[in-house]
A = this chain, B = another copy of it.
Amino acid sequence: MKDDKGLLIVLSGPAGVGKGTVCGALREKDTNIEYSVSATTRSPRPGEEHGVNYFFHSKEEFEKMIEEGRLLEWAQYVDNYYGTPLDYVKETIDRGKDIILEIEVQGAEKVKERYPEGTFIFLMPPSLAELRNRIVGRGTETSELIDKRMTVAKNEIDMMQMYDYVVENDEIDKAVSRIRSIVTAEHCKQERLIEKYKELAEVE
């Protein structure tokens, strides 16, 4: 049994944590999860297809999408816009398919505002995971290095707050397996299932 609606899974984390690599490995393993296709104003590169790699739009079209609130989030890099089309995400979810969005932390914050019922996963660098061992370790770290690590840790903890789950990217396979477990668990959540059964049994 499965609830009827898909999940919006938002995978984010600090720059360089390996979001793309983990997402790629997940895509290979789990064919039940769809991948969000971004909208952009940049020109297609050879071989890129509209609706597969990106939704390609003119600057005017994109700005109209922004105005009409048809983007879950968007950002401008150099001269081009990039964003996540809300319609595409909603259609996928309504079809009962899970969709994953791999995105920078600033984008994830915007998605959280517009779609708080999403499943927000923070991919954590092993450096933070190793924090404890190193700090409580053999006292071989210089205090300068410890201070530096503390600052990094503090920033990452601040970022973590809005997420539902924290997944350590120590090994890609382990990270992928944890994410798949989270998706399974989310589909077993009582709140998601009971609503369906209430409808079916017509009880209040």
Contact = CB atoms under 8 A, between A and B. Distances in A.
Nearest to A131: B200
A201 to B, nearest CB: 4
A67 interface: no
Q: Which of A135, A164, A178, A184 has the most CB of B within 10 A?
A: A184
Copies per complex? 2
B131 A168 contact: no
A153 B200 contact: yes
A161 to B, nearest CB: 7
A66 interface: no
Interface stretch (A45-53, A56-64, A75-83, A191-199): A191-199
Nearest to A161: B194
B202 A185 contact: no
Contacts of A164: 189-190
Interface string A169-190: 0100000011011101110111
Contact of A163 (B150, B161, B190, B201): B190
A157 to B, nearest CB: 5
A184 B181 CA distance: 6
Q: Which of A124, A131, A166, A202 has the most CB of B within 10 A?
A: A166
A25 interface: no
A20 to B, nearest CB: 20
B190 A185 contact: no
